[in-house]
Structure formats: structure tokens, C-alpha cells
Structure 1
Amino acid sequence: MGRPAAVGTQRPLEDVDFRVSGPAALTAPALGRLRALGATVRESPGGRPGAARFAATGPGAGAVTAHTAWADVLPDADAADEATVQAATGMMQVHGRRDGGPRGLAVDYAATCASVLTVQGLLAALLGRARGGGVAAEVATGADRAALLTVSQYAAAANVPEAEAVPSAPGGPPFTAACGTRFELEALEPAPWARFWRALGAPEEALRTGWPAFQFRYATACAPLPEALHRTARAASWTRIREAAAASGAEVCALHTLAERVAEAAPGAPWTLTPYAGAQPAAAAPSPPSGALPLSGLTVLEAGRRIQAPLAAHLLGLLGADVVRIEPPGGDPLRGMPPCASGISARWLALNRGKRAVEADIKSPAGRAGLRELVAGADVFLHNWAPGKAEELGLGAGSLASVNPRLVYAYTSGWAGRLPGAPMGTDFMVQARTGVGEAVRPADEPPAPSLMTLIDVLGGLVGAEAVLAGLLLRERTGRGVAVESSLLGAAETLTAPAVRRAAAGRDPRRPAGFRRPLPTADGWLAPADGSSAEAAAESARIRELTSHQAVAVLRERGLSATAVITDLTALPEDPRLRGAFTRDPHGSLIVPSPWRFA
């Protein structure tokens, strides 16, 4: 069966009014999302500097309020804007691994993630109240909390005794063809990788030693590839490279510009919500107990891999849901991905701790029947399988809606079927195809997708947001909902300001040196965006001072700056964040929850 037909045009926030105040950097990404969900939004001036407020009123809404600030766990002086948040949370360190030193992302990644988390918190609080429980009506988050969430896998891996599977060192894609075309390569298995490079005449030793670094780039945010592979690419025409990819089973994608994105169809909402046609209202789920988290009593089945769907389910679990992972016979192979804490991958724990696991062979009739039995008692089924796989197995939204008409069926996809001829829907290919590689780098750096998994992580956040919207819509209609989010939607969310600049005929990229930290005698210092020019003028003096001294000198002059985290092993003991982290029973590091409810 295909996707269920739509019922009406009802959206989950059609009867809710929002009054929003605060800096545009913290409010703008959320406003469009609230409106797309049906809310009426009124912006008002004022508010606390460095913080935003979202106040919801309307039938069933009560008085739900969200507060979003740059600093919620960090001191205010160390999280004054996007640049300082990136510096103090380790984001600059992770993004800069490819370059051999900390680099700031030229997009407002922390603020964008915080805005999505704000909408999630609002939806969750509204859902809790709609379910009739005594759920807290105020939720707070921060750009610093969002940033720590985005680096949680890297921080967890850095803070266990076991070493990485491959050494971290500068380097990585994209590659450059003889004509100058810069491109990303994707190969999920070693055989297509080897066939591709052999077709181009690369030395055997280079393709053999290059595979581990390439394979683990998702985990390490760097890929120190043999220079022979880059030389091989530079000697080949773009036509020959594409032919080699087509013949080998690998995929290549030329880096697209933001101007090219402007020329393509305008993006819509980052998700779709489709109520089941013909479904009769069913009994509501039990109300959460007083004081409980908003998703308490709800069950989420997750059949996810890598980052996108597992992170979405992880966030739903942090909101109180009981999350059950559907794993293949023998369990998720990524449980053993090094480095490990007490025998379990620290990265895997960062996304999957607290979840229950059920093994099911969905390729067998018995396994699919067992999954349907679980679906019958669940509230959400979430997956990020390859396009068409669910329908091929008889596990599409229409099929499972017949088992459970109140089910929220959530598909976190790569492209949502919106870009015909698009390459494989993985993080770096999406970055290449959507202009992210241009947006994340200032004008004096060649375009290159970040090796930090920006889009997988943001895609997971957008996926959780879509599920919460679907649950709230279900609560108000009594009918199940099919929701779909995508990495494409995440990329469009992140690049929206740059695409708007390009559409207006302005340079979409940030100026040379944007968010580039300044070296000090013992590390690096990051000035706030508004203080960068004056701080750069003092670079010679700053170089002779320790980071602590340099920050003090700049602050005495009324400038904002903070020291850059350059070693994630020092993150838990950093005075700015001390007490923010905990550890699980395996000894793996836990970053603070993205929200506080009160």
C-alpha cells in the first residue's frame, strides 16, 4: 500500500497564538516553522538581551511558554552569540579537524538547532497538556545546550580510555577533477570504493590505506587520505570520474553553489504531515502523571541506523517516551564501533542509551509479523530505511495504519523525493548537493562540506520535531498521521539565510576570515561576531598572551570573547561547563538534556 491520502487541511497549531520576542538570530528559524504548523505568530519588541521568549495561548494551549537563550549552561559572558557558543562547546574544534585547527562554521548552526529544539519543547508541552496530564507549562533551552548535543558523539568518544579505530589527522574530501570540479564521493562498502579508484588508475596501496580513514570520517570528522588519491582525481576528467562511479557502484556529486539552489524550486516546510484517510477517531492514550515528562506513557518503535533516526528517537526518549529499537538478528553492529566504554561504543551510547532493544529479521515473514504486533501497541513507528524498502516489505504507512489507526508513522528520509536524480541521501552528499559546502565556509576558503555530521544531526532534530507535530495533531483529531522529514529539509533549514542573500543578489558567503579564531600563547581565542574586527586588530598582542589573559584584556575593552575548546577530553572539566556533564553506568559521557521543564 502507498501513503494514506490526506484528510482536510488541519494542522496541529491552527488554534494557537504565539507572541515572540528576542533577537532574530534566536527567533527567526522558529517563526516559519510555527507558522507552517498553523500557528498565528506575533512578534513584539523588547525582551531580555541574548534571550527569546515564545508565549502560546489558545484553546487547549493554556499558557505554555518557551525561553531560548545563548547561554543556559555556560556563563553569559562565554556564550554571547553564535561564535562564542561554537568556541566554548567544542564545535569549532570538531569542524576544524579537517583543517588541523579550530574553525568556526560560517552558518548559525547552534542557533538553528536551538530554534528546532525550541519548537520541539513547545510541541511537547502542548502535547502533554492536550493529553490531560500535569505537564510543566514552561520549557527552556539554549544555543549552548543545542551545541553540546551536536558534539555529543565526538565528546563521548574522546572521553573513554580506548583509542579511535583510525588516528585523527587533517585532511579529507572533497576531491577535485582535472577541470577544477570539486566533488564528494560516497561508498558505503569497501568494494565499490576499490573499484572506483582502480578504474581511475590509483595505486593499490593508496586505495587500501585510504579506505579506513574514509569509512570512519563520519565518526572522526576528518579523513587523512593518501595524497595519491587526490592526485589521481586531479588527473581525471569529470566525465571519466562519473563513468568510474557509475561502473563501480560508488556515487559522486559535484559541489553545488547557493546560487544554483536559488534557481531550483523554492523549498517548502521541512516535513509533511498526512492524516490517515477514512480512519475513525480512536481512544486516546493515557494521560501522563502529574509532574511527568510530556511523552511519558507513549511508546516509540525505532528501526533506525547511523544518526538521523536514532537521534530523533533519542530526543523523544529524553521527552519521556519509552523507546524500543528494532535491531537485526545479532543486534546493531554499530554497538561495537570503537572507541568503547565497557565494551559498548561510546558513540552508539550517545544516541541510544536508555532504549530497549528487540531483534527482528524484517526480511522474514515471521519477523515482519512480530513487528506488526509491536506496532499494534505503539504510538510511533520511526525509520530511515532506503527509499521504497518499507513498501517492498509491506511495512509502509498504509500497511501499518491498518494495524494501528492511531499510529504516527515517521519516515526520516534523505531527499523526500523532491530532487529527481539526486545522489545517495547521506550527510556529505546532501551537503554537496544543497550548497551547504559553500555556506559553511567564509569567502577566503574553498567550498567544502564539513566533516562534522551537520545534516545528519540537524536531520535527527527535524525528524523529532515532525514526530511531535504528528503526535499533537493525532491528539487533537484522534486519527493517526504519516509524517516525513528529510536531510534535504534540514539542509534547507540551515542554508535559508544564505540562499536568501543569494536570491537578493548579494554575496551568499560570509566575508574572509569570518569566525576564524585568533591564536594565543597557549591556544585559541574566539571573539564574538560583533567584536571580531577590533579583536583582530589586537592579534599581535593576543598571540603573546594566554587565552585567559587575552579574554580578560578584550573584555576590559568592552569586547566579547571566549577561549576555544581545542581538546574534547578537557570539556567535562572546563570551568565554564563543570558540573554540566554526567556519566552513564558504562562510564560514557552524557551531555546535558536539551531542555529544562518547569
Structure 2
Amino acid sequence: MTATAVAAAPLAGTAVRAVGDTVPVRVAASRLRALGCAVDRVGGRPPAAASAGRIDLVTGPAGTASPVGCDLAWSLPSVPLADERDVQAACGLAYLHGRSRGGPRFLPVDYASLCAGALAAQAVAVAALTLLRGGPALRASVSVAGAALLAVAPYTAEATATRGTPPSPGPGEPPPFRSADGVRFEIETLDPEAWLRFWEALGAPTAAIAAGWAPFQRRFATAVCPLPAALFAALASVPFTAVRDLAREHGVGAVPLRPLADVTDEAEPPRRLRGLDAPAGPDLPPWSATGPGPLAGLRVVEATNRVQGPLAGLLLTLLGADTVRVEPPGGDPMRGVPPLAGGLSARFAAFNRGKEAVECDLRTAGGRRAAADLAVDGHVLLYNWPPGRAERFGLGVDDLTDRAPGLVHVHADGWAGAEPSPGVPATDFLVQAHGGIADLLFDGVTDPAPSLVTLTDVLGGILAAEAALAGLLLRSRTGVGASGRTALVDAARLLRRVGRGTAHRPRTGTAPVADPASAARTFPEAFTRVHGTALPRAPWTFVPLTEEGR
């Protein structure tokens, strides 16, 4: 069978009322509208329990009145916070964004608010799915602080695992680089051999090449990247076209920093959720009152690495899904990356705790069959392989639809076919550069540069989890599975649509800037401790509404 894709709006026929004119509310409303929900915007101040706004699902998926919804607050109970700047200061975002430049810097975008709005939309989608599965009306709550703490969770895990003062970045400067003709750009490779060949072709000193690899490789984990001056000098002597050609020849990506004015967005973001042209499968398991969360009884099969995919899987796990990771023989190599806590990498644990792991060698026919068997027994298949790899493994939509017509396929992609040139890696910092995010983050103090906080990776993970929920909603309403594709470029697009914020503007009375370890101590309710390491709890709470409580 060919799973011919048809467009679908999983929340068609539903309606919400959005209360409050804040970024979290506007983002939540836009995400729900994209899922097919009608949105009624209401002015005025939200109730005290929802200081950042409120979303009420006034018409549920069955077309009847519904009391479910989501309250948005700025803070968690530990510390009162009033706005985005307070949140960035107290939760570690300002510390991490400024760490590579020698001191705290506030993001000039309302990043925590944006993440909170997307999580609030997920909460409403989960509440609607719970109703479709025969469960009760749920009232959810999300805080902007909780969203910020989720975004910095790997840094918090590493900081609390080491139980020490964060080390100094050391001598050197972070990218971006500048070519002889004045082009500012980022480079990327995950291969040390490609790194060596590229710099040798440029004539860089061997000592500088060797000294630069470790900080370059770990910049995703540390939010710093002090590189030797000799590397900048090597690139400053060559025009960008020559840099790009050398990079392509040696397996390195090179991407100029594009100004926002050069980035053209579609009038409407692309919708990549499609219902499958397939027979109806069995109903989803009914909602369970005794499960670990509203997705209890649902199974997610996850084949992901790094940040975007594992975070999407974590969010589904924290919602109660039973998640199993498909890992290579010997396990995911990231499991052993220091610092370790209880024999497991603290950073790996931040986005992968609570998941089962099954090792499958996808290079072999037996391993591919084992992975396919896992997938067809699940409800969601989530992966972030490069395009085409799922099909090569026999795990594409067409490969599995005959056996699992109700399966929800979610591809957490990078460029989604919009790469700046062939073969360029789809990683966070290159997406920030090409997507105009470096320009968006310009604060008037330093030259435009991508943030070394993985902004699009985290937001991309949230969007991938949203796609899984949307697919499950569609499955509940139509009986057939779905195929969803999200990408890091979608996260960049959403950042551009929200635009610049005001957190970077100086003011008096802002909360002191905390590092991630301090933030974990300040907000203990947002973390669980495993071997002394602070790992994120669910960013939502859900409370069933009884007849008396409605």
C-alpha cells in the first residue's frame, strides 16, 4: 500500500478563548490555530492564578462545551517573577547566553515566553486527546519559568553533577568568523577528521587546529567556544567563496549570517502533518486514571540523538507515554560523555530519563526487522535521522503502513528541504545563522551572532512533540495514522514571527542573574534529583475537574 498523504487539521471544529495580551498567550493561540482550532481573543487582565494569561477550550473535539484549558503564570511558587526579564535572570538563560562573552546578557527575544506558549498549546491538545480517549476534563497549568528551566536542563544537569563552580571559558573568542571580503559566517562539522582536513587546507597552525577542536565540539554542551586567534586569522585571509568551496570539499558546512531583511517567510508556515490514506486501525487505548500522566497507555518508539529528538521524546514521556529508545549496539555514545552521575552522562539523562532502551543494529537486516517490530507495536514513531534514512532502514511511512495503519510517524528534521546548499549539516548554530536569528539577537553591544544556547534545538524539540500530539489527535478522530515533519527551521521561523522582545533593555529591580546550578536550588519543585543531579520535571500540571470543581 502507498500511504498517500492528505491534509488534516486535528483540532478542526474546536474553539478556544485566549485571555491576556502576552507573548505566551499569543504563541499558544497561534499554535492552536495552526492545528485547526478557532481562537477568540479576549482583552482584559487574566485571573491572579494565571498571571501570564489563560487559554480555555470552550468547544471540545466532540463539538460540545468543555471546561478544560490551561493557566499560564510567570513564576513557580518558589520565587515571584513578573516578566520575561525576571525569568531569564532567575532561570539561567541570561547567564548562559552571556557566558561566552564574559558576563550575563539577556536574550533580545522573549524565548522563555515563546516556549511556554507552545507548551500551553500542547496542554490544551493533551486535554482534548484525553476527552477523546474517554478521560475527564483536565485543567492544566504552565509557567514561563518552568519553560525556561526545561530549556536549560542539560546545562543544569551538568552543573549539578559536577557540584562545582562553573569553569572559566578560558582564552580565545567564539565564532562567528569573518572572511577576507567581510562576510561573517559559521562553520559546522561533527567529524574531527573533517575539522583537521579543512584547517590544514587553509594553512592553519597544527597546534591551533588541535586546541580548537575540543571547545568547538563541546560548545553545544557548555555555551562557550573559545577558539585560538590563529583560526580566525586563517579564515580572515580568504574570501568567503573560497572558504565555502574548501568547506564543501572537506565535509564541513559554512553558512553566512543572514540579516533578517534577507529572510522571506511564507504568509502561512508550512503544514507538514498528513493523515495516511490507509484503513482504520484499532482505537487508541482508553485513558487510565492510574497511569503516570494523560498519555498513559500510549507507546512511543524513539530513534533520536543530541537535543531536538530526545527532548521531544522526553516531553511525551513526562506526559505519561511509555517510551523506548532504539539505540545502536553498545548504546548511544552520549551515555558515556562526562560528567557522569550514577554511571550515566548527566546531559544525556536530562533528556532521556524514564525511557527504556533497546539496542538494534540498523546496519543489519535483523536489526532493521527488530526496529520495525518495535515500531508497529507502538503508537508513535519519532526519529531525527537525516531525510531518506528512515526509508533506507525500512522504517518509512510506506514501509510500515500495511502493518501499522494507525502509527503516527514524526520526523524531527533540520532544514526540511530548505538547506542553504547541498550537504550543509542541519545543526542549531547554522540554522540560527541562516535563519536570521543572529541578527534578531543583536543587542547593540556586540556584533550579531548566534546564541551558544541551543535555541532552535530546544524549540524544535517542543515542536516535534506538538506534531506527535497532533498526529495522535488525528488518529483518535479518524482512526488512521498520520505523518508529521517538523524542523529546526520551523523553530527559527517561529522566533522570527514572535520578533524582538524587551528583556535586554536595562531596568532596575530585576532578579539577580543565576547560573543553572543556582536556578536548580532556587526552583527545587522543577527538578528531581538522581544521584545528586537535577533533572527536569514535567513543565505542566494537570488536574482532573470534578463536577463540583467546574
Q: What TM-score do you get using the length of structure 2 for normalisation?
A: 0.93
Q: Is the 8 A contact 1:156 1:589 kept in 2?
A: yes
Map of 1:451 onto structure 2: 452
* Contact 1:406-1:480 at 8 Å conserved across structures: yes
> Residue 26 of structure 1 contacts residue 69 of structure 1 at CA under 8 Å; is this kept in 2?
no
Query: Equivalent residue for 2:520?
Result: 572
Equivalences for residues 64-463 of structure 1 within 5 A: 64-76=68-80, 79-134=81-136, 137-161=138-162, 168-169=169-170, 171-262=173-264, 265-266=266-267, 268-269=269-270, 271-277=271-277, 279-290=278-289, 292=291, 293-419=293-419, 421=421, 423-463=424-464
The answer on whether the counterparts of 1:163 and 1:339 sit within 8 Å (CA) in structure 2 is no
CA distance in 2 between counterparts of 1:160 and 1:127 reads: 37
1:10 offset after TM fit, Å? 3.8
Match of 2:512 in 1: 563
Please state how far the C-alpha of 1:72 moved relative to its aligned partner. 3.0
Cα distance change of structure 1 residues 418 and 234 upon mapping to structure 2, 3 Å threshold: closer
Contact 2:288 2:294 in 1 (8 A): no
Q: Which amino acid aligns with 1:413?
A: D
Structure 1 pair 18–297 and aligned structure 2 pair: CA distance change class (3 A): same
What value does the CA root-mean-square deviation take over the aligned residues?
Answer: 2.1
Distance in structure 1 (CA, Å) of the matches to 2:132 and 2:363: 38
Change (3 A) 1:303 1:580: closer
Secondary structure at the counterpart of residue 5 of structure 2: coil
CA distance in 2, matches of 1:382, 1:143: 26
SS for the counterpart of 2:161 is coil
Letter in 2 for 1:287: P
Aligned length: 534
Note the C-alpha offset of 1:449.
Answer: 0.5
Give the superposition deviation at 1:89: 0.3
Equivalents in 2 of 1:19, 1:372: separation in Å?
A: 42
Alignment of 1:487-502 (within 5 A): 487-498=488-499
Distance 2:42 2:70 in 1: 15
Q: Is the 8 Å Cα contact of residues 17 and 58 (structure 1) preserved in structure 2?
A: yes
- Deviation of 1:578 after TM superposition, in Å, equals 4.6
State whether residues 116 and 142 of structure 2, in contact with CA within 8 Å, keep that contact through their aligned partners in structure 1.
Answer: yes
Q: CA deviation at 1:376?
A: 2.0
Query: Is 1:581 equivalent to 2:527 in the alignment?
Result: yes
SS in 1 for 2:370: helix
Give me the whole-angstrom Cα distance separating, in 1, the residues matched to 2:163 and 2:327: 25
Judge conservation of contact 1:413–1:487 (CA < 8 Å) in 2: yes
Larger mean Cα displacement after TM superposition, 227-236 or 475-484: 227-236
Structure 2 distance, partners of 1:314, 1:432, is: 27
5+ long unaligned stretches in structure 2:
544-550
Amino acid in structure 1 at the alignment position of 2:435: T
Separation of aligned partners in 2, 1:267 and 1:179: 36
* 2:541 matches 1:596: yes
Conserved 8 A contact 1:372-1:403 = no
Q: Structure 1, residues 81-118: CA drift from partner, whole Å, max 9, x if none? A: 11110000011111111101111111110011001100
Q: CA deviation at 1:569?
A: 2.9
CA contact 1:182–1:255 (8 Å) conserved in 2:
yes
Specify the SS of the correspondent of 2:13. coil
Distance 1:167 1:340, change over 3 A: farther
Tell me if the contact between 1:165 and 1:338 (Cα under 8 Å) persists in the aligned partners.
no
Deviation at 1:166, TM superposition (A): 9.0
TM-score (norm 1): 0.86
Name the structure 1 match of 2:548. Answer: none
Aligned to 1:474: 475
Q: Retained in 2: the 8 A contact 1:92–1:105?
A: yes
The question of whether the paired residues in 1 share the 8 Å contact of 2:16 and 2:38 is answered with yes
> Is the Cα contact below 8 Å between 1:375 and 1:403 reproduced in 2?
no
State how far apart, in whole Å, the 2-side matches of 1:153 and 1:174 are. Answer: 23
Q: Residue 543 of structure 1 corresponds to which residue in structure 2?
A: none
Distance 1:258 1:191 in 2: 34
The offset of 1:496, in angstroms, is: 1.1
Alignment of 1:35 with 2:33, yes or no, is yes
With over 3 angstroms needed to count, the CA separation of the structure-2 counterparts of 1:454 and 1:300, relative to structure 1, is: same
Alpha-carbon offset, residue 400 of structure 1: 1.5
Which of the numbers 9, 19, 22 marks the counterpart of 1:21?
Answer: 19
CA distance in 2, matches of 1:43, 1:460: 27
In the alignment, the residues of structure 1 paired with residue 182 and residue 205 of structure 2 have an alpha-carbon distance, to the nearest angstrom, of: 22
For 2:240 and 2:526, the matched residues in 1 are separated by 49
Greater than 6 Å deviation, 4+ residue runs: 162-167
Return the alpha-carbon distance in structure 2 between the equivalents of residues 216 and 302 of structure 1: 24
> Residues of 2 paired with 1:579 and 1:463: CA distance?
26
Given that residues 56 and 68 in structure 2 are in contact (C-alpha distance below 8 angstroms), is that contact kept between their aligned partners in structure 1? yes
Deviates more, 1:283-292 or 1:346-355: 283-292
Secondary structure at 1:280's aligned position in 2?
A: coil
| SS of residue matched to 1:300 | strand
Q: CA deviation at 1:285?
A: 2.1
Q: Distance in 1 between matches of 2:161 and 2:230?
A: 33
Report Cα offsets for 1:533-577 as digits up to 9, x if no partner. 5x3xxxxxxxxxxxxxxx4xxxxxxxxx21111x33333333xx3
Deviation per CA, 1:324-382, whole angstroms, max 9, x where unpaired?
Answer: 00000110000011111122100000000110000001121111111111122100000
Cα gap change, 1:207 to 1:366, in 2 (>3 Å):
same
